[in-house]
Structure 1
Amino acid sequence: MELTPAEKNLKNLLQTWMLILGSAGVFFLFFGNQLLISINKVSTRFFPKLPLINEPSEFFWLTLTLSLMVVLIFLCYWAQKDIRRNIDFVIPFLISKFVSTFFFFVFYFKQGYSLAYLVGVISDGSMFLITFYFYKKVKWET
């Protein structure tokens, strides 16, 4: 049976997230510290009153970040492989993006309005909202 337009859109979105998350994971692995340094430079130039985020000196959190990214890639893969049968794999993806957005938001205020946390709100929040929209479109059809 052919996919509905909403199912096709969600499948394409999940494939896009797989590509973005995979690329971001490789980037974080090799250039993660540079990303934070760059965000701090942008913050210093355009938002000089905002505090800077501390640059990590070890790889403990990077390990957890990369493992979660791999899990999210596989959730997207399994869901898009058979979007009708596996649509529930989108739910843990949504939960993950909601939780990360929530805590980026909390830490943005708790840690003194650092631009890095705002970048997290924007990136993960966008992924959550876009995915939720396309997920709900599929659910509304059924």
Structure 2
Amino acid sequence: MAKNVWTPAERVFRGWMLISAGMYALGAAGFLLIGAHIPGVINAISRYTLPLPLYPVPADAPEGAFWRILSVSMMAMITWIGVQAYRNPRRHGNMVPVLLLSKACSTACYTVFFIMHGHLAYMVGFLTDGPIFLITTILWYAAAGGERNLTRGEERILVALGEALVPRGGRFNLGFSDVRDASLDGTVRMLSVMDVPTLLAIRLSLHFLNCTPLPVFGRRLTSLSEDRRAEWLMRIETRRGVTLRTCVIIAKVLVLVPFFEQPEAAESVGYDRTARVRP
């Protein structure tokens, strides 16, 4: 069986998931062994550093042993998810949303309870789970494109853009749809040499561009007719806002450069690859 060759985004994500799995495993052990003392320690810190209300701790019993057991079981689950995502993010990446749901829920609850009660313990929970949720979400999305660095949805956006920019039977005899697969492969090659932040920004720009017609038509760009797509791209490209224009330029580069690299496309515009400049 061939060994997987991970993209740069996948390598970063795998490293983070390995670190996360280690943190979750240590957290599970900590909750089980010393969880009863954690609220007291946080209260001691709060008492001497921040003028916040103290978290109520029962005086005659360990703090919430029943709930600590549930916390340990949850930490064991997300540890396992982290390990599996590290082993093969392409095969097991669909487990990560469960982890994200857990962290989003805990972050939201910590936020609400801190606003309601003002205990430092809730702030600590928010400052712990919030960044974990944010970092994991960003890195997971960056790696979600797999070996092509594009999700299927993003490829559909590129196809919709290509069909609008180079329609079949338009200015050229050849349309984007005639060489769609080869052009997409060319786009993939372009993306493969980009660093992770640039790749992430480009993919997000595609989604942003796809959503721009929503306030006007109530539909995404991919759901519009080919003619209306072309009209909309022309419309936003001529606006003053630099963000929209930049997104259109990025889309044109991703679509048109690979398209005109195809021999059929070159011939359709009269370019002779065999021509040479006379000495």
TM-score by length of 1: 0.92
Is the contact made by 2:103 and 2:130 (CA closer than 8 Å) also made in structure 1?
Answer: yes
Matched residue SS, 2:144: helix
Q: Which residue of 2 aligns with 1:92?
A: 98
**Kept after mapping to 1: 8 A contact 2:36/2:65:** no
Contact (CA 8 Å) 2:104, 2:130: kept in 1 or not? yes
AA in 2 matched with 1:92? V
- Measure how far apart 1:119 and its partner are: 0.4
- Paired residues in the alignment total 140
Which residue in 2 is equivalent to 1:115? 120
Q: Percent identity?
A: 30
After superposition, the C-alpha distances for 1:71-106 in whole angstroms (9 at most, x for unaligned) are 101111222221112111111111110010000001
Q: Tell me the alpha carbon deviations over residues 52-83 of structure 1, each in whole angstroms, 9 at most, x when there is no partner.
A: 11225341110110000001011112222211
* 1:1-142 correspondence runs (5 A): 1-48=4-51, 50-55=52-57, 57-111=63-117, 113-139=118-144, 141-142=149-150
| RMSD of aligned residue pairs (Cα, Å) | 1.3
Specify whether residues 77 and 47 from structure 1 end up closer, same or farther in structure 2 by C-alpha distance, changes over 3 A only: same
More helix per residue: 1 or 2? 1
3-state DSSP of counterpart to 1:33 = helix
For residues 21-71 of structure 1, the C-alpha deviation after alignment (integer angstroms, 9 at most, x for no partner) is: 1111111211112221111011111113x1111225341110110000001
Partner SS state of residue 90, structure 2? coil
Unaligned runs of 5+ residues in structure 1 are none
Partner Cα distance (1:58, 1:98) in 2: 22
TM-score, structure 2 length as denominator? 0.48
Q: Which has the larger radius of gyration?
A: 2
